[in-house]
């Protein structure tokens, strides 16, 4: 029974037996675990005062989903009291052995009766299943169906939890379901963009603008013509990372530009397909698009490029191989995998990326999580192959760096944010990428931003011309380069020429 002051509402528990369907809340929720699974489940709902777990209070909304209600809506189950803070929870009580029975080939299937389930007036494009173990959030299931999701894995309980006995404290985890309302697909290519903060986002649209609404305001895109870019003008170009887009990146950089008094006459953005196309194709397309706008030797423009993650390799390819060195003036690289990342070699690397997305905050994270949930990303993407240390792209760029002609600035993060679990980020990674303990030990023994180690990010200092290379190690994770105070301060000083 809930403790006094706990406003949660629990419905009678049901026994889960592999291969059989268990109905909860009058059949509105049906759970069918795989063979070999034994456990219990019950539905809990509540108000904003609900305590998640008896061991303490916890948010019911993953940090990576906070603030963007346009992409995710919580599923509120019937028979519970709806609350704005998040969805009702399905409490799962299962041992480690039972959890290990849940795999992509033998999933735990959750089916919702949409005729009786609340919040289905406007069905989403799919479902996201998130498990919370009291400390961390795990992406355990996804579906492009609005009423059924297959949970494909479950994290182990903490090692100290009992496998046998009357107590189940610690073995209980909560399963939250979110409707994925869609994922706004960026218009691919090179565009003119401007950011309007929430206080000024009511201004008139320019002709042909495409508007992307964010919690911070609006990003407005339109086509750009060569005759717009006059001699002597300062131009910023933004290139995003894997599974992302430039809208959130621009929202963050617009704040940086304003804070440090940096003015650009034009802001251009390059959005590219990051799943089925690799760095080589994107870098070539970017170079061609810039030349089509009139960029070239002696063009009179001053061009700064800001790139993040995979986008740094796209930018380097454009500059070093596709001819961009003739018209790019400065490049700012945030989290550049110059020598690749060993995590890209591991099975489960994409799942780790999404797990980080749920447990961290960053403007690019909701769209990335939605793309994974709707199965828009393939686990064997061409672009992830390009990020491995042994990839042809990494090898080619290592060689071309020796003849660099453009001033590079690199921000390399050393994550100092405590992990959401007692075992830290390394324990969390081992849960997601099982069987890769040796590789993960090697990765986490080095300084890293949770996706790329510092050695890879700063490696060009040994090959790139010294007078054209600037690097700074900053205490931030991979998704905070344009928002973390120390990282932003360093960027501001570079922009001022310091």
- For 223-239, write each residue's pLDDT tens digit: 998 889 999 999 999 99
**95 neighbors 400 (Cβ within 8 angstroms):** no
Indicate whether 22 pLDDT > 70: yes
Q: Domain 189-495, what architecture? A: 3-Layer(aba) Sandwich (3.40)
Q: What is the tens place of the pLDDT at every residue in 424-438? A: 899 899 999 988 888
The rounded distance, in Å, linking the Cα atoms of 366 and 353 is 12
Look-up: residue for tokens 């895109």?
221
Q: Which is more confident, 351 or 170?
A: 351
Q: 143 has which bridge partners?
A: 127
**139 neighbors 130 (Cβ within 8 angstroms):** yes
Query: What mean pLDDT comes out for the span 110-138?
Result: 77
Q: Which is more confident, 312 or 207?
A: 312
Domain boundaries, given as residue ranges, for the chain: 9-180, 189-495
The rounded distance, in Å, linking the Cα atoms of 488 and 411 is 10
Indicate whether 82 pLDDT > 90: no
- The one-character DSSP state at 206 is P
If one counts every other C-beta atom within 10 angstroms of the C-beta of residue 117, the result is 18
Q: What is the tens place of the pLDDT at every residue in 297-326? A: 989 999 999 999 999 999 999 999 999 999
Query: What mean pLDDT comes out for the span 213-220?
Result: 86
> In the structure encoding, which two tokens stand for residue 417, read together?
């944010």
State the DSSP H helix or E strand holding residue 72, giving kind and residue range, or none if neither: strand 72-74
Report phi then psi at 67, rounded to 5.
Answer: 90, -15
- The one-character DSSP state at 466 is G
Please state the separation of Cα 200 from the chain's center in Å: 27
């Amino acid at each position: 029974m809930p403790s006094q002051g706990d406003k949660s509402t629990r419905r009678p528990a049901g026994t889960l037996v592999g291969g059989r369907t268990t109905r909860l809340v009058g059949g509105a929720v049906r759970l069918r675990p795989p063979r070999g699974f034994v456990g219990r489940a019950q539905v809990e709902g509540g108000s904003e005062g609900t305590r998640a777990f008896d061991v303490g209070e916890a948010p019911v909304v993953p940090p990576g989903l906070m603030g963007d209600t346009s992409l995710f809506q919580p599923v509120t189950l019937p028979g519970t009291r709806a609350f704005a803070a998040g969805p009702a929870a399905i409490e799962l009580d299962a041992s480690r052995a039972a959890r290990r029975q849940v795999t992509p080939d033998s999933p735990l299937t959750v089916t919702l009766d949409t005729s009786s389930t609340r919040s289905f007036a406007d069905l989403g494009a799919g479902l996201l299943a998130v498990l919370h173990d009291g400390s961390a959030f795990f992406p355990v299931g996804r579906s492009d169906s609005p009423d059924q999701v297959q949970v494909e894995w479950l994290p182990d309980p903490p090692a100290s939890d009992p496998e046998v006995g009357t107590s189940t404290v610690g073995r209980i985890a909560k399963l939250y379901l979110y409707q994925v309302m869609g994922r706004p697909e960026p218009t691919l290519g090179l565009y003119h963009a401007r950011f309007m903060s929430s206080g000024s986002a009511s201004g008139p649209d320019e002709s042909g603008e495409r508007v992307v609404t964010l919690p911070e305001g609006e990003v407005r895109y339109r086509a750009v013509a060569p005759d717009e870019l006059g001699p002597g003008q300062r131009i910023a170009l933004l290139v995003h990372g894997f599974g992302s887009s430039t809208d959130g990146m621009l929202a963050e950089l617009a704040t940086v530009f304003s804070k440090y008094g940096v003015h650009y006459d034009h802001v251009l953005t390059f959005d590219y397909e990051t799943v089925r196309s690799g760095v080589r194709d994107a870098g070539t397309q970017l170079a061609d698009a810039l030349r089509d706008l009139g960029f070239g030797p002696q063009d009179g423009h001053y061009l700064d490029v800001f790139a993040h993650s995979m986008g740094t390799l796209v930018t380097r390819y454009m500059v070093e191989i596709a001819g961009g060195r003739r018209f790019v003036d400065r490049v700012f690289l945030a989290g550049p995998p110059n020598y690749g990342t060993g995590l890209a070699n591991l099975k489960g690397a994409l799942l780790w990326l999404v797990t980080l997305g749920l447990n961290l905050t960053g403007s690019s994270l909701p769209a990335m999580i939605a793309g994974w949930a709707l199965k828009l990303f393939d686990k064997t993407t061409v672009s992830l192959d390009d990020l491995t240390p042994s990839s042809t792209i990494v090898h080619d760029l290592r060689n071309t760096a020796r003849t660099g002609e453009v001033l590079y600035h690199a921000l390399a993060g050393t994550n100092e944010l405590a992990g959401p679990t007692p075992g830290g980020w390394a324990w969390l990674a081992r849960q997601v990428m099982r069987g890769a303990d040796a590789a993960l030990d090697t990765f986490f023994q080095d300084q890293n931003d949770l996706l790329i180690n510092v050695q890879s990010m700063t490696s060009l200092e040994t090959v790139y011309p010294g007078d054209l290379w600037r690097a700074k190690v900053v205490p931030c994770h991979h998704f905070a380069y344009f928002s973390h105070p120390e990282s932003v301060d360093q960027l501001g000083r570079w922009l001022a020429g310091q």
